[in-house]
Amino acid sequence: MTIRDVAALAGVSTATISRVVNRSGYVSPKTRSAVEAVIRQHGYTASRSARGLSSGRTGLIAVTVPRIHPSYFSVIVAGVADALYEHDMRIVLCPTLHEHDREVSLLARLVHGTTDGGVLILPEESPSELRDLMTHGFSFVVIDPRTRIDARVPTVSAANAAGATQAMEHLLALGHRRIAAITGPSALMANKERTRGYNAALAAAGLTPDPELTFESEFDVQGGAIAASALFDLAERPTAIFAFNDQLAIGAMRVALARNLRVPEDLSIVGFDDTSESELLRPALTSVRQPLAEMGRMGVSLLMRLVENRRLEAVHIELATELVIRGSTGPPGPR
Amino acid sequence: MTIRDVAALAGVSTATISRVVNRSGYVSPKTRSAVEAVIRQHGYTASRSARGLSSGRTGLIAVTVPRIHPSYFSVIVAGVADALYEHDMRIVLCPTLHEHDREVSLLARLVHGTTDGGVLILPEESPSELRDLMTHGFSFVVIDPRTRIDARVPTVSAANAAGATQAMEHLLALGHRRIAAITGPSALMANKERTRGYNAALAAAGLTPDPELTFESEFDVQGGAIAASALFDLAERPTAIFAFNDQLAIGAMRVALARNLRVPEDLSIVGFDDTSESELLRPALTSVRQPLAEMGRMGVSLLMRLVENRRLEAVHIELATELVIRGSTGPPGPR
DNA sequence: GGCCGCTCTGAAAACGGTAACAGCTGCTTT
DNA sequence: AAAGCAGCTGTTACCGTTTTCAGAGCGGCC
């Protein structure tokens, strides 16, 4: 079933079919309904390849993501997919496995004639590579940028600094004064922001950050465990730990329980992300929720404007986080 | 950068460029390297749209999946994506949100001119709709079929019956005799198979299944909780529960702990899927691992043969499961 | 009555590749 | 010596759309 077949059956030209299908230009109501009848009856759908070749728009959006599986990413992708579906666009999914080369070569190929734009989630590209991409005329947005990038690239992220401050204010209000931070890799902008929020909250409470209490490690359970062990070995133990993601918090909680520290009586723990794991833990984890699906949706909404209007004033959106209080935090014990 | 630009720069015809890029036909080494130099230098990539239009192959594979987020699906998708990447194909991701109409209309549009084939994960289509799809010449494989479908459609699933038997043999070997089953929706083929494995294991141990001990519910935490409550209210409580997925097991464990039943001393629990949650629970959950990523990979491997050879003898693949024993199972208490 | 503008429609030229076909060279075979 | 064939390359038709352009019909206005 090609457009020509439909045209022949309806007794009109292919141009008219195209106009009917795309709701563009003038078509008399009579012709329109006749064509629509033929289309319905024979189940015609336009070939995306042909359309892409002819009009330059493929209806496909590339989505790069380090990995699909960690729920952090899959929830964002779900939000992106949802929003794109509403625009009748499809998503070309590209897991990069954190490999810079893979991502670059993928994008290079997608830019040209495959997709109309891209949503880059935590991309590996350097700021200059992203700038090149932009000057080549590729429309894209970045969700959760790894580093500070060209101001003209639209970005969407969570309010990381504010979220960290929320977590800290909760702990401070409970009476904690020695609050440790287990940060993820400091190269990530999100972590820099969270650190900023951590320090800001301490300062606001009139406390000076103790460098001993900040520990950087990999963003995984293992990293959390290592950091927690080190913190517990300090002469003066912290009474609370703010972990920069839930994985780290899980690791910390494991070590705490292994050392017979009761949570939250002896140690309060706050995570970040509020992944589904956090309410599974016992005690359930207090965590800063990022609006991940929303971030995906918002990215698409920016991208659509970019794709349609061609170019758009710089936009950097930060979506508010929310502190979800569960059983892992409480007032510090009497010591 | 079009193929014509490259041809002009290299001083050859477009046909030669095409041959170099696709490694087809004869090209002298000298010409080849000259062309490759131009391509590298100017960063040419063929337009997928044009290629798709001309050759009929787009290098895109549609992947339908009910939802992205539950890790059950995202792990399968990750396996699919990984395998497709190796074939230099991209994945067009279509979350159907369990909506039959959405899935049907998506596929209808993808079949024609957009993708070369499809991987359908737990599809909503009826067997007859799938048959139609096949007779229309669309190449696809089904992963984890919902029901028994046309024997000519290649399918990949886990060895559900055998997996259930593994779980049961473990419980039986520990000495359990009253073993309840919390099944998911019995419409799903996977659940029928697991029920078959459950009954087979009981029979092999010389026990007759007690209908009181089988409880069907929705595949979620809530469903597990409801089922477990009912089971605990029986005159003679089961000493072990085999839940047909981990969500159900989590629900059951919650209710057990709420009723002050100790796991595993008073009650053993086995799950199915071995999702990442299972080792987070306290006690950690004994569960039947499905090789999800492998299933995705295997699906692609079948599909590739289908796409290349056109048509393929019926293949139904069952991948072996593995029982992962953790802390939630132990010998029954003395009562 | 001539002109304008609006509505509607069709012819035809792209869009960027692929692949069938033909043509050329130089070597091997008969 | 003619024929055949492998290796290499170019010409060109075609894939299924969109879009530009031109033209036809028609009512309203000066």
pLDDT by residue (tens digit) across A48-89? 999 999 998 999 999 999 999 999 999 999 999 999 999 989
Residue B209: burial class (beta carbons within 10 Å; 0-12, 13-18, 19+): middle
Neighbours of B60 (CB within 10 A): 25
How sure is the predictor about A335, in pLDDT bands with cuts at 50, 70 and 90? low
Chain B CB within 8 Å of residue A108 CB: yes
Query: Where does chain A hold its CATH 3.40.50.2300 domain(s)?
Result: 59-158+292-319, 160-290
Residues of A in contact with B67 (CB under 8 A): 78
The top-level CATH class assigned to B58-158+292-320 is: alpha beta
Chain B CB within 8 Å of residue A91 CB: yes
User: How many CA atoms are closer than 13 Å to the CA of B152, on its beta-carbon side?
Assistant: 13
- Separation of B177 CA and D15 C1' (Å): 67
Q: Is the CB of A15 under 7 A from strand D?
A: yes
Of B288, B253, B251, the residue nearest B267 (C-alpha): B253
Q: Is the CB of A35 under 7 A from strand D?
A: no
3-state secondary structure B219-277: CCHHHHHHHHHHHHCCCCCCCEEEECCHHHHHHHHHHHHHCCCCCCCCCEEEEEECCHH
Of B235, B279, B251, the residue nearest B71 (C-alpha): B279
CA distance A206 to B171: 58
Report the CATH fold assignment for A3-46: 434 Repressor (Amino-terminal Domain) (1.10.260)
Minimum CA–CA partner of B103 in chain A: A85
Which nucleotide, over all strands, has the C1' atom closest to the CA of A7?
A: C10
Residues of A in contact with B75 (CB under 8 A): 69
Chain A CB within 8 Å of residue B89 CB: no
Chain B CB within 8 Å of residue A66 CB: no
**Site from A3, A64, A69 to mutate, B interface, most B CB atoms within 10 angstroms:** A69
| CATH number assigned to the domain covering A59-158+292-319 | 3.40.50.2300
Residue B87, helix vs strand vs coil = coil
Residue B124, helix vs strand vs coil = coil
- Separation of B25 CA and C21 C1' (Å): 14
Q: Mean pLDDT score of chain A, rounded to an integer?
A: 94
Q: Is residue B261 predicted with pLDDT exceeding 90?
A: yes
In this prediction, residue A18 carries a pLDDT of: 96
Query: Where does chain B hold its CATH 3.40.50.2300 domain(s)?
Result: 58-158+292-320, 160-290
Token pair listed for A252:
């910390």
Average pLDDT score over residue span A118-125: 96
Residues of A in contact with B281 (CB under 8 A): 280
Of B187, B101, B108, B103, the residue nearest B148 (C-alpha): B187
User: At which residue do the structure tokens 């009981």 appear?
Assistant: B202
Chain A CB within 8 Å of residue B45 CB: yes
Neighbours of B88 (CB within 10 A): 8
Contact A108 B78 (CB under 8 A): no
Token pair listed for A25:
């230009």
Minimum CA–CA partner of A293 in chain B: B69
| Nearest Cβ partner for B69 among A78, A90, A91 | A78
In this prediction, residue B137 carries a pLDDT of: 84
pLDDT in tens, B52-64: 999 999 999 999 9
Evaluate whether B1 touches B47 at the Cβ level (below 8 Å): no
Evaluate whether A245 touches A270 at the Cβ level (below 8 Å): no
CA distance A128 to B294: 37
Q: Is residue B277 predicted with pLDDT exceeding 70?
A: yes
Residues of B in contact with A71 (CB under 8 A): 69, 71, 74
Count A/B contacts: CB-CB distance under 8 Å.
128
In this prediction, residue A323 carries a pLDDT of: 98
DSSP classification of residue B141 = E
Chain A CB within 8 Å of residue B107 CB: no
In this prediction, residue B139 carries a pLDDT of: 92
Average pLDDT score over residue span B203-207: 97
**Site from B21, B65, B68 to mutate, A interface, most A CB atoms within 10 angstroms:** B68
Distance from CA of A282 to the nearest CA of B (A): 7
Residues of B in contact with A222 (CB under 8 A): none
Of B172, B194, B186, the residue nearest B271 (C-alpha): B194
- Separation of B13 CA and D3 C1' (Å): 30
In this prediction, residue A240 carries a pLDDT of: 98
Q: Is the CB of A33 under 7 A from strand D?
A: no
Contact B74 A74 (CB under 8 A): yes
Q: Is residue B324 predicted with pLDDT exceeding 70?
A: yes
How sure is the predictor about A334, in pLDDT bands with cuts at 50, 70 and 90? confident
Contact A68 B74 (CB under 8 A): yes
Q: Is the CB of A48 under 7 A from strand D?
A: no
In this prediction, residue B310 carries a pLDDT of: 67
Chain A CB within 8 Å of residue B169 CB: no
How sure is the predictor about B335, in pLDDT bands with cuts at 50, 70 and 90? low
Contact A49 B58 (CB under 8 A): yes
In this prediction, residue A101 carries a pLDDT of: 92
Contact B68 A78 (CB under 8 A): yes
User: At which residue do the structure tokens 């790894």 appear?
Assistant: A146
Minimum CA–CA partner of B280 in chain A: A281
Chain B CB within 8 Å of residue A25 CB: no
Beta strands in chain A (DSSP E): 60-65, 90-95, 117-121, 140-143, 155-158, 179-183, 214-216, 240-243, 268-273, 286-289, 316-319, 322-324
Residues of B in contact with A108 (CB under 8 A): 43, 45
pLDDT in tens, B67-91: 999 999 999 999 999 999 999 899 9
Evaluate whether B159 touches B321 at the Cβ level (below 8 Å): yes
Of B193, B119, B120, the residue nearest B158 (C-alpha): B193
Report the share of chain B in percent with pLDDT over 90: 87
Residues of A in contact with B101 (CB under 8 A): none
Contact A113 B45 (CB under 8 A): yes
In this prediction, residue B185 carries a pLDDT of: 96
pLDDT in tens, A257-266: 999 999 999 9
Four-way CATH pick for B160-290: 3.20.20.70, 3.40.50.300, 3.40.50.2300, 3.30.70.260: 3.40.50.2300
pLDDT in tens, B155-178: 999 999 999 999 999 999 999 999
List all residues 6 or more positions away from B211 whose beta carbon is below 8 Å from its beta carbon. none
Q: Which of A28-37, A107-116, B284-293 has the lowest mean pLDDT?
A: A107-116
Indicate the Cα dihedral angle A237, A243, A249, A252, nearest 10°: -30
In this prediction, residue A53 carries a pLDDT of: 93
Which nucleotide, over all strands, has the C1' atom closest to the CA of A113?
A: C16
CA distance B207 to A168: 57
How sure is the predictor about A310, in pLDDT bands with cuts at 50, 70 and 90? low
- Nucleotides on strand D lying under 7 Å from protein C-beta: 7-12, 14-20
| Nearest Cβ partner for B92 among A45, A49, A91 | A91
In this prediction, residue A111 carries a pLDDT of: 80
Residues of A in contact with B83 (CB under 8 A): none
